[in-house]
A and B are shown apart, each in its own frame.
Chain A
Amino acid sequence: MEYIGEHLLPGKLGHFFVVLSFTASFVAFVAYFLASRAKKPEEEKNWKLVARTAFAIDFISVFAVFACIYYIISAHYFEYNFAWEHSSRSLPPQYLLTCIWEAQEGSFLLWTMWHCVLGTILIFKAKKWEAPVMTVVCLGQFCLATMILGVYFSGFKIGINPFLLVRQLEAFSNAPIFSRADYLSIPQMQDGQSLNALLQNYWMVIHPPVLFCGFASTIIPFGFAISGLWTKQYGDWTKAALPWTLFSACVLGTGVLMGAAWAYESLTFGGYWAWDPVENASLVPWLVLIGGLHTLIVYRSTGHSLRATYVFLILQYVLVLYATFLTRSGILGDLSVHAFVDSGMNWQLILFILVFLTPAAILLIKEYKRIPHIQKEEHTYSREFWMFIGALVLFLSALFIITVTSLPVFNKVLGTHRTTGEDPEFYYNRVEIFIAIIIGILTAVTQYLKYKQTPVISFVKKIVLPTSIALVLAVLYGIFGGIHYDKYGTGFLSAIYLALFCAIYAVVANAGYIWVGLHGKLRAAGASVAHVGFGLMLVGILISSSKKQVLSYNTTGININFDPAAKQNPLENLTLLKNVQTDMGTYWATFLNNDSTNKAGNIMYFRINFQKKQGNEAFDLYPNLIKNTKGQESFSNNPDKRHYWNRDIFTYISYASTMDREKDTSAFKPYPMAVHDTVFYSKGYLVLNKVVVNPNTEKFHFSPSDTALMAEITVVSKDSMRYQSTPLLYVKDNKAFYVADTVFAQNLVINLGKILDKNKIQLMVRESSALVPFVALKVYEFPQINLLWIGALIMIAGFIMSIVRRAREILR
């Protein structure tokens, strides 16, 4: 059938380039492989030429694929599944790129694009290492190309084709609309499912590219290590690999931290890190990479630790691949809020790991004995010994995290049914706090030790001052700031204090080292600067997590729960009725309105006013609800913050009455009442004081000639608050009119019903849940959270300083 209005050219073009990049990357891989093994220089030169040409074609193809996808999305060609599933017409243009990352195939594409860019730099700069390292990179390139290939090979699906049309999807193969030639004119095909609401955040424009640049770059230190084993030049590659390893550590670390920033900005698990499996999966390779970076430096300076360097640098890339499997296989489904779902590519993802793991493991085992190492062991007062210990601790920490994260994998393989319990964060924290202590101390002390051997006295002399300063600062903080985190007992609290000291120690000692050890030579101070940043991050993490406060503790009148068991339970939500000032600890909180929306109309902002009880500080926050996309009716909540130099006030909406207002099913209940009779409702009782005939009050003005009755009612709530209510009934033109009265604070509507005999009157009482607009919200305070972000920036700056210095050493 000829379908009307389809734009098939960009898709055909795109898929042509997909296939071309697949072929070109394979040619480049084979050619680089042969170039590495070539005996004669001429042969090598020829193969290199082939390889470079193939890589250039791959480069162009990959970017052409990207351009085609971008064109399809920005032109809103919803006949393509990519556009239909991930974008919509109303999506702000800055998020068009985010649509590409949202898709599995799009993120694979991003990964390949970075391979292309980094590979090009390698071609120009790697000199004799170009051929072997690029062999590895091109193999990676080839594997990734299969992920977006989308062909069937004897019953197996290889990759997801990003240029599939909606009508070509298996799931829709029998959908009746595609029997129409003009199916594109049907409303469902006129707009896409749009981008997930939570991803419509500026961090999501930048975080995935940086993270994937980090992932992509980890193949280079891995490739260098493999090249070293392969060419049997066991230690030669380390000089060229050092700036690349620093680059990977820097970019991957930045990517992970940007993810944390996004989580803090737009997710509502109340912080920047939740030990979510997806977060762990990207942190673990980074930890191992940092270990490898340190042993690499040890080897460069002393000749020790080369074997460990091999193990770490190989393992970090295998872990990147394993992380890819974990997050994309759907295996984390029951544990993570943001893993991809199973897309039927699991065997392919496992193969991706094995393609790299198997040859790497065989090479390493085969060559291990031949990797040079120094028999004489490191001196106790030597920098290399403690750097190695630090690397080992980081590795163990990574091992612990990945073991716990891999529980669903173990369950699948072993058939067990284990999982983390109610408080998964503490599982990690109680171990990681000790890692933080050890790493903090090592970070502080190790730079003061010299390579090979350090005279003990000079070491002690230099370390005394920073140690005392750190000790004084930690004690002062203990006295004046104070951490009172007793949720897990005094043991854990002491560990936090100890870790805090170690973190401060790391900051002070490394800052001091720039002057004491390096005499202020900033050019060489990259490591110290990065360590200062890392230490500051630790300080920020420790203080902001252990002193995180729930400001919205529910202690106010209207919400007291009479259930005694509730006392042990966290009461973190506070309900605010519209325009009712509510007691919130040291603040008064008022929900003012939810009138404003964004331009597209899918975000609803709630204006909440906070007023400090002491002093006259007052401010508004706008936590908001984003209407979900993808055919979901409900909302995602998006927090808002107020930043102070030393803390953040962080709030988000847990519930808003506007979310489902149609559901007020409560009805009036009739009560026959005489004067002074009492009636109970769920939160108290009400008394009919008297019935006034033809009242003349502030509210009502009736003259004796009218026919009107007003009941005077006192409502007494459980918390002994008294409210007056005056429902009214009058007759005009032989018709009865009822004027109900509402006690908003109690959500009561009271009306008069019939007049009964024997001096009785019928009272109609309704308890409603949706009379007054209200919100339930959470408010947290994160003290010193800025230290985390400032520390992160300093650490990144330190990395960049080191990269520049080490790259210059090679290029000189």
Chain B
Amino acid sequence: MKRLHIVLLLFIAIAIGTLVSFMGDLSTYETISSARQKEGKSVTIIARLDNSQPIDYDPVKNPNYCSFHITDTLGNKSMVVYYHEKPFDMDKAERIVLKGKMKGNIFEITQKDGILIKCPSKYKDDPEVAKKNLGQNQY
């Protein structure tokens, strides 16, 4: 066997090892109720903002604490605590991707990137909003 082949095999082994260990560390997409069953485990939830509850962010008291409520497609609800500033477009988000851990009844997010606001018009127009704008007659 050539030396190069040994090196190749070694690299392949390392690559496989890395990927396998990596797969083990991946988080999974969960619903709120399945996340509750995996308390303490890092999971990802895609949900909507529950507009019936206020977003609690008072930067004068604490600029690093933002709490709000979410509801997922199954209708389950949960409170979320995010230890960073309130994301800018949060109120208008159509969907929120949250990465964190369920702790008791509260979903906790410690990482700044643990929250991703999907605003329809971030990079491309939301056809719905545009439609609404144009659809109205302003005579």
The answer on a CB contact under 8 Å between B112 and A655 is no
Interface residues of B in 67-82 (CB under 8 A from A): none
The answer on a CB contact under 8 Å between B113 and A424 is yes
Interface residues of A in 649-687 (CB under 8 A from B): 654-655, 657, 682-683
Question: Which listed residue (B14, B18, B44, B85) contacts A419, Cβ 8 A?
Answer: B44
Interface residues of A in 544-595 (CB under 8 A from B): 554, 558-559, 561, 563, 566, 568-575, 577
The answer on a CB contact under 8 Å between A334 and B4 is no
The answer on a CB contact under 8 Å between A422 and B125 is no
The answer on a CB contact under 8 Å between A636 and B134 is no
- Cα distance A274–B27 when bound, in Å? 18
Question: Which listed residue (B8, B15, B42, B97) contacts A334, Cβ 8 A?
Answer: B97
**B86: chain A residues within 8 A (beta carbon):** 655
Least CB distance from A147 to B in Å reads: 16
The answer on a CB contact under 8 Å between B64 and A569 is yes
Least CB distance from A335 to B in Å reads: 7
**B120: chain A residues within 8 A (beta carbon):** 341
Interface string of A254-274 (1 = CB under 8 A from B): 000000000000000110001
Of all chain B residues, the one with the shortest Cβ separation from A304 is B4
The answer on a CB contact under 8 Å between A421 and B83 is no
State whether A654 and B113 are in contact (beta carbons under 8 Å apart), knowing that A421-B27, A631-B129 are contacts in the complex.
Answer: no
The answer to whether the Cβ of B62 comes within 8 Å of any Cβ in the partner chain is: yes
The answer to whether the Cβ of A108 comes within 8 Å of any Cβ in the partner chain is: no
Least CB distance from A717 to B in Å reads: 12
Interface string of B39-59 (1 = CB under 8 A from A): 000101010000000000111
**B14: chain A residues within 8 A (beta carbon):** 396
The answer on a CB contact under 8 Å between B88 and A187 is no
The answer on a CB contact under 8 Å between B118 and A570 is no
- Cα distance A274–B57 when bound, in Å? 26
Total A-B contacts with CB atoms under 8 angstroms apart: 195
The answer on a CB contact under 8 Å between B113 and A569 is no
The answer to whether the Cβ of A186 comes within 8 Å of any Cβ in the partner chain is: yes
Least CB distance from B125 to A in Å reads: 6
The answer on a CB contact under 8 Å between B129 and A418 is no
The answer on a CB contact under 8 Å between B61 and A418 is no
The answer on a CB contact under 8 Å between A421 and B26 is yes
Least CB distance from A559 to B in Å reads: 6
Least CB distance from A719 to B in Å reads: 13
Interface residues of B in 11-27 (CB under 8 A from A): 11, 14-15, 18-19, 22-23, 25-27
Question: Which listed residue (B44, B57, B64) contacts A554, Cβ 8 A?
Answer: B64
The answer to whether the Cβ of A400 comes within 8 Å of any Cβ in the partner chain is: yes
- Cα distance A577–B14 when bound, in Å? 53
- Cα distance A570–B123 when bound, in Å? 29
**B84: chain A residues within 8 A (beta carbon):** 570, 572-573, 654
Least CB distance from B44 to A in Å reads: 5
Interface string of A396-410 (1 = CB under 8 A from B): 100110011001000
**B23: chain A residues within 8 A (beta carbon):** 418
The answer on a CB contact under 8 Å between A177 and B134 is yes
The answer on a CB contact under 8 Å between B99 and A389 is no
- Cα distance A193–B121 when bound, in Å? 10
**A617: chain B residues within 8 A (beta carbon):** none
**A196: chain B residues within 8 A (beta carbon):** 122-123
Least CB distance from A424 to B in Å reads: 7
The answer on a CB contact under 8 Å between A419 and B27 is yes
Interface of B is mostly: mixed
The answer on a CB contact under 8 Å between A378 and B4 is yes
The answer on a CB contact under 8 Å between B58 and A769 is yes
- Cα distance A45–B136 when bound, in Å? 62
The answer to whether the Cβ of A340 comes within 8 Å of any Cβ in the partner chain is: yes
Of all chain B residues, the one with the shortest Cβ separation from A342 is B124
The answer to whether the Cβ of A431 comes within 8 Å of any Cβ in the partner chain is: yes
The answer on a CB contact under 8 Å between B121 and A632 is yes
Question: Which listed residue (A188, A385, A417) contacts B29, Cβ 8 A?
Answer: A417
Question: Which listed residue (A176, A389, A400, A683) contacts B18, Cβ 8 A?
Answer: A400
**B11: chain A residues within 8 A (beta carbon):** 392-393, 396
- Cα distance A377–B101 when bound, in Å? 53
The answer on a CB contact under 8 Å between B89 and A334 is no
**A637: chain B residues within 8 A (beta carbon):** 88
The answer to whether the Cβ of A175 comes within 8 Å of any Cβ in the partner chain is: yes
The answer on a CB contact under 8 Å between B22 and A404 is yes
**B122: chain A residues within 8 A (beta carbon):** 196, 337-338
**B112: chain A residues within 8 A (beta carbon):** 269-270, 570, 572
- Cα distance A654–B87 when bound, in Å? 8
**B38: chain A residues within 8 A (beta carbon):** none
Q: Which of A334, A400, A682 has the most CB of B within 10 A?
A: A334
Interface residues of B in 94-119 (CB under 8 A from A): 97, 99-101, 109-114, 116, 118-119
The answer on a CB contact under 8 Å between A635 and B88 is yes
The answer on a CB contact under 8 Å between B125 and A561 is no
State whether A340 and B15 are in contact (beta carbons under 8 Å apart), knowing that A187-B138, A561-B62, A569-B64 are contacts in the complex.
Answer: no
The answer to whether the Cβ of A776 comes within 8 Å of any Cβ in the partner chain is: yes
**A419: chain B residues within 8 A (beta carbon):** 26-29, 44, 99
- Cα distance A187–B134 when bound, in Å? 10
The answer on a CB contact under 8 Å between B15 and A417 is no
Of all chain A residues, the one with the shortest Cβ separation from B58 is A769
The answer on a CB contact under 8 Å between A630 and B125 is yes
The answer on a CB contact under 8 Å between B118 and A333 is yes
Least CB distance from A437 to B in Å reads: 13
State whether A418 and B28 are in contact (beta carbons under 8 Å apart), knowing that A572-B64, A654-B63 are contacts in the complex.
Answer: yes
15 pairs from A and B in contact (CB 8 Å cutoff): A172-B130, A175-B134, A188-B133, A188-B134, A419-B29, A420-B99, A422-B27, A422-B110, A423-B111, A425-B113, A558-B60, A573-B59, A628-B89, A631-B125, A634-B88
Binding site for B on A (CB under 8 A): 85, 102, 166, 171-172, 175-177, 186-188, 193, 196, 269-270, 274, 333-335, 337-341, 343, 377-378, 380, 385, 388-389, 392-393, 396, 399-400, 403-404, 407, 411, 417-425, 427, 431, 554, 558-559, 561, 563, 566, 568-575, 577, 628, 630-637, 654-655, 657, 682-683, 747, 769, 774, 776, 778
Would you list the 4 A-B pairs with minimal beta carbon distance, nearest first? A654-B85, A776-B63, A573-B63, A421-B27
Q: A175-B135, A177-B135, A572-B112 are in contact. List 10 more A-B contacts (CB 8 A).
A: A186-B138, A193-B130, A343-B124, A377-B2, A400-B19, A419-B99, A420-B27, A559-B64, A573-B63, A655-B85
